[in-house]
Amino acid sequence: MRIEAFDFLKDVFSKNGFHLYVVGGTVRDFLLGKEITDLDFVTDATPEEEMKFIPEGDFTFKKFGAVRYPYKGKHIDITTLRQEGEYNDSRHPSKVTFVKDPKLDYVRRDFTINAMYLDEDYNVIDFSTGQEDLKKKLIRFIGDPAKRIEEDPLRIARAERFAKCLGFQIEEKTLQAIKDKRDLLAKLNPEKLKEEERKGWKGTL
């Protein structure tokens, strides 16, 4: 199994001296053998560097390291590897720092099954227990579950949606943190919660 858009773009990035990786839910679905509907890639190139060799990309949110690239009628999200500062508003990091190493990037991600990478040769890069949890059908936060929820309470709804849509169980410590921190959902925009509910009804990952 190959990902056509990745095979095309990884060569473009390599020719310009940069690495490109598949990441997140795209890797998860690839390993599960599911149809891939969302294409999420990460790179060690900054948006300013990418503008020189993929100028057709949408650089509207380049300050966050996010570029949207058009490919055969689809949109590919390419994000620069990054570290994040503290979450002061229970949704967004106060600071974003671009980095070169996926090992520095993965710790900001939500669940182990969403924090794996594929390199240019389709080797799985897994800094936590992503592959193991995928086999065990477990939803597990990366790092301290309580802290991850405090950073962004919407992760509660995401955990429950992933468990429902994938038919997975929520790992014990993650489940306890969800119970303990559920009142933080009141901080969120109600529309954000409704959006998660709609995705859950549709079985959308």
Q: How large is the average pLDDT for residues 185-196?
A: 90
Q: Report pLDDT for 96.
A: 84
Residues 59 and 114 grouped into a single domain:
yes
Tell me the angle at which helices 154-166 and 190-202 cross, rounded to the nearest 10 degrees.
10
Residues 91 and 122 grouped into a single domain:
yes
Cα–Cα dist 90/139, whole Å: 21
3-state secondary structure of 32: helix
Residues 124 and 158 grouped into a single domain:
no
Q: Report pLDDT for 89.
A: 56
Residues 145 and 185 grouped into a single domain:
yes
Residues 21 and 121 grouped into a single domain:
yes
Residues 28 and 98 grouped into a single domain:
yes
Q: Report pLDDT for 199.
A: 82
Q: Can you give the CATH number for the domain in which 96 is found? A: 3.30.460.10
Residues 178 and 151 grouped into a single domain:
yes
Q: Can you give the CATH number for the domain in which 148 is found? A: 1.10.110
Residue 163 in this model has a pLDDT that exceeds 70: yes
Q: Which amino acid is at 175?
A: L
- Structure tokens, 183: 């009142």
Residues 5 and 66 grouped into a single domain:
yes
Using the 3D structure, point to which of 134, 155, 181 is the last residue of a domain: 134
Residues 163 and 130 grouped into a single domain:
no
Q: Could you give the percent of the chain with pLDDT greater than 70? A: 95
Expressed as residue numbers, the domain containing 150 is: 137-205
Residues 51 and 120 grouped into a single domain:
yes
**What's the predicted TM-score (pTM) here?**
0.91
Residue 13: Cβ-neighbour burial (10 angstroms; 0-12, 13-18, 19+): buried
Concatenated DSSP letters of 137-179: TEE-BSS-HHHHHHH-THHHHHHHHHHHHHTPEEPHHHHHHHH
For residue range 49-107, list pLDDT tens digits in order: 999 999 999 999 999 999 999 999 999 999 999 997 666 655 566 678 999 999 999 99
Domain count for the chain: 2
Q: How large is the average pLDDT for residues 145-170?
A: 95
Using the 3D structure, point to which of 110, 134, 158 is the last residue of a domain: 134
